Structure formats: C-alpha cells, structure tokens
Chain A
Amino acid sequence: GAGVSQSPSNKVTEKGKDVELRCDPISGHTALYWYRQSLGQGLEFLIYFQGNSAPDKSGLPSDRFSAERTGGSVSTLTIQRTQQEDSAVYLCASSLVAGVGELFFGEGSRLTVL
C-alpha cells in the first residue's frame, strides 16, 4: 500500500476484554515494529518483526501482550484481559529491512480501557 495502515483508529473497551490491533505495512517492507505512546510521552518499544520472525520481544510489558505476523505482511497485536494502564496510542512502523533506513509510521490505534 501507499503507507502503513492501522486499524482500528480508535478502540474503547472495558477492563478485562481482549483487543486486537492490526497493522498493514508498506508493501515490500520486511521489518515491522510496534510501539506504545502514552499521552504526552515518548515511544516505548514493544516488538519488532523481520519477516515473520520476532527476534526481539523484550519490550512486551507482560504476558497479556502478544503479536504475530503472517505472510511477511500484516501484523496483529493482541492484548488480553486489558487493564486501564494499557490505555495508549499503539503505533506501527515498517522499514525495508530491520536496522537499515528510516521507519515509516502508521497513524496509530488509540486504545482506551474503561
């Protein structure tokens, strides 16, 4: 696609529910990154993929968070049993190859946990 596409753009959910956030990277980009940004804060690294593999999952805050990528393209970030502290904007970015070149960001998915 022309840019990184994320959905949903906004999600309001109740505490304890599961949510799935989707990211469709730029076509041909093999690296995909998930970040979290709380209001007025910087970027918190969650996970990255090179192809379908996730070499670095160190940023996932807890075992309630998981991510997968299939076909070297679309990625899904799943948060189980959501908590209020999970409320944030979840940003996805892609690049041609991990560690080479700039990242291109999607518009983000704003998650609000009530």
Chain B
Amino acid sequence: ELKVEQNPLFLSMQEGKNYTIYCNYSTTSDRLYWYRQDPGKSLESLFVLLSNGAVKQEGRLMASLDTKARLSTLHITAAVHDLSATYFCAADSNYQLIWGAGTKLIIKP
C-alpha cells in the first residue's frame, strides 16, 4: 500500500530565505505531483514529475524527483509573502492519487 509522507507539516520563514519541503513515498509510483492550496480555496496543480531525475521550475519554486530514493523535493528560493499557502504532494497508485498531509507554509514579510 502506497503511503506518502511530507515534512515539515508546518513551516514559518522570513522573506528572502530558501527552504525545501520533502515528500517521501513508500512504494514505486509512476508520477509525483505537487499542488498548492490557498486558504479557503481549492487545489492548484504546480508540477507533474514523470521520471527519475525530473526537475521542473516555475518562478521561485523548483521540484525534483528521485525515484530510487522515493523522494521528491519542492525548493523555495528567496521566498516572498505570496508563496504562503499549503503545499501538497501526491503519488499515483492504481488510478488514484495518494496524498501527503500537506505543508503549511507561512512567509513573513
């Protein structure tokens, strides 16, 4: 049974700093997804990672996938307040996504 663990679950940081959110999954998965959720809003797709070594970047966010280590990371560079949100990772399993618990990110001005 696939399980997905994120850490940290909560992160408070200052603007301008760098940080990384980690997503571990327990068994082989074909794809790894990152989503963002703003308070009271729905989920927005950020990245889809399809293969070992995949790296995708959008603005200050960069996601990577290491299928051998069963680890994906979401790196935030020079954080800005607008990136405050909850970030979820999810992995494929039998036609559905198994979700991490989410990382609530607060970026202070």
- A110→B83 CA distance, assembly (Å): 24
Q: Which of B43, B92, B94, B96 contacts A91, CB < 8 Å?
A: B43
Q: Are B96 and A42 in contact (CB under 8 A)?
A: no
Q: Which of B41, B42, B44, B102 contacts A42, CB < 8 Å?
A: B102
Mask, A21-57, CB within 8 Å of B = 1, is 0000000000101000000011101001010000110
Q: Are A42 and B43 in contact (CB under 8 A)?
A: no
- A108→B42 CA distance, assembly (Å): 7
Chain A nearest CB, measured from B36 CB (Å)? 11
Chain A nearest CB, measured from B52 CB (Å)? 19
Taking the complex as formed, is A102 at the interface, i.e. its CB lies under 8 A from any CB of chain B?
yes
* Nearest A-chain residue to B100, judged by Cβ: A42
- A42→B104 CA distance, assembly (Å): 11
* Nearest A-chain residue to B102, judged by Cβ: A42
Chain A nearest CB, measured from B98 CB (Å)? 8
Q: How many A-B residue pairs have CB under 8 A?
A: 49
Residues of B within 8 A of A105 (CB): 42-44
Taking the complex as formed, is A60 at the interface, i.e. its CB lies under 8 A from any CB of chain B?
no
- Number of chain B residues close to chain A: CB under 8 A: 18
Mask, B84-99, CB within 8 Å of A = 1, is 0000100010111111
Mask, A52-88, CB within 8 Å of B = 1, is 0001100000000000000000000000000000000
- A98→B92 CA distance, assembly (Å): 10
Residues of chain A touching chain B, judged by Cβ–Cβ distance below 8 Å, are: 31, 33, 41-43, 45, 48, 50, 55-56, 91, 93, 98-99, 101-108
Q: Which 5 pairs show the lowest CB-CB distances between chains A and B?
A: A99-B95, A98-B95, A42-B101, A105-B42, A105-B43
